[in-house]
Amino acid sequence: MPTTPPFRLNDGNTMPQLGYGVWRVSNEEAATSVVDAIKAGYRSIDTAAIYDNEEGVGKAIAASDVPRNELFITTKLWNDNRSFDGALTAFDQSLKRLRLDTVDLYLIHWPGVSGEGYVDAWRALVRLKEEGRVKSIGVSNFMPPHLQRIIDATGIVPVLNQIELHPRFQQKELRTFHAQHDIATESWGPLGQGSLVADEKLAAIGRKYGKTPAQVILRWHLDNAFIVIPKSVNPSRIRENIDVFDFALDADDMRIIEAMDDKDGRVGPDPAIFG
Ligand code: NAD
């Protein structure tokens, strides 16, 4: 069974570099697919209040024979609770649905276009970390001005920013800001939400190693030191997506994939106008 290397965060904690994402997975599906993922070797699960499947994820964690301290559970604060008190209340509700007393990582899901609320929500996450109810705190879909504002307001740097990132949308400017502040980059939509798995250039690279295009893309994330959380509810794809620790891409492969970057390659919402 593949084991995922640990990734060190700026607060001293570690998390698996590859995890299992459950967006667009129902509670019923999550209760079985998360069990399949844990059996396949995944130890990190990425959910969110808005995914409406924290109960299914919690059920799978409770049913798993892997001890809680070997699992790394992430959930996220949704936009309707982006305030200090809202975040504290929403966090309690997430914990209850997950049947947990701590989560390993809590993220603000979107900064929002109004500019209101996310700084106060971040103060609440800092409080939750101080209280030991969350091991690590981070954000998602933040752009440099959002990141700078929460750092200036609290002095606390998020451990990571979970952003849309895949070969067709590589976010180089934002990654430079992350590197300057020791913020890890976590890729959502790492397979372009499935849109990249039929790409012929990636298939050609995969043939050199006996790997699929999805595996090539995931290897590219790992080789770039991104944390990555692919999603599938298909048990054989769940296994395929973690079977990426027995090869590495060479410099030519990396150059070919780097050349796929496209400023219009986004498949999800733009944080400048969403949330
Ligand atoms: P993804 O890039 O992981 O693509 C998932 C889709 O790709 C699947 O539904 C399936 O159709 C296809 N796929 C998966 N494995 C495959 C394989 N081996 N071969 C062929 N096709 C395959 O997209 P995603 O689900 O959007 O992103 C992953 C996770 O990131 C989510 O589940 C969620 O946890 C997180 N996420 C976060 C945000 C955010 O705003 N923070 C937004 C979207 C997703």
Q: What is the 3-state secondary structure (H, E, C) of the chain?
A: CCCCCEEECCCCCEEECECEECCCCCHHHHHHHHHHHHHHCCCEEECCHHHCCHHHHHHHHHHCCCCHHHCEEEEEECHHHCCHHHHHHHHHHHHHHHCCCCEEEEEECCCCCCCCCHHHHHHHHHHHHHCCCEEEEEEECCCHHHHHHHHHHHCCCCCEEEEECECCECCHHHHHHHHHHCCEEEEECCCHHHCCCCCHHHHHHHHHHCCCHHHHHHHHHHHCCCEECCCCCCHHHHHHHHCCCCCCCCHHHHHHHHCCCCCCCCCCCCCCCCC
Average pLDDT of span 255-271: 98
Average pLDDT of span 259-269: 98
The per-residue pLDDT for range 61-99, each reduced to its tens digit, is: 999 999 999 999 999 999 999 999 999 999 999 999 999
Nearest CA to ligand 1 atom 34: 21
State yes or no: pLDDT of 2 exceeds 90.
no
Q: Which of 109, 202, 232, 274 to mutate to test the pocket of ligand 1 (most atoms within 8 A of CB)?
A: 232
The per-residue pLDDT for range 159-171, each reduced to its tens digit, is: 999 999 999 999 9
Q: Which of 20, 36, 188 to mutate to test the pocket of ligand 1 (most atoms within 8 A of CB)?
A: 188
pTM score of the predicted model: 0.98
State yes or no: pLDDT of 225 exceeds 90.
yes
- Is there a catalytic annotation at residue 51? yes
pLDDT of 68 reads 97
Nearest CA to ligand 1 atom 25: 231
pLDDT of 1 reads 81
187 CA distance to ligand 1 centroid (A)? 10
85 CA distance to ligand 1 centroid (A)? 31
Nearest CA to ligand 1 atom 5: 193
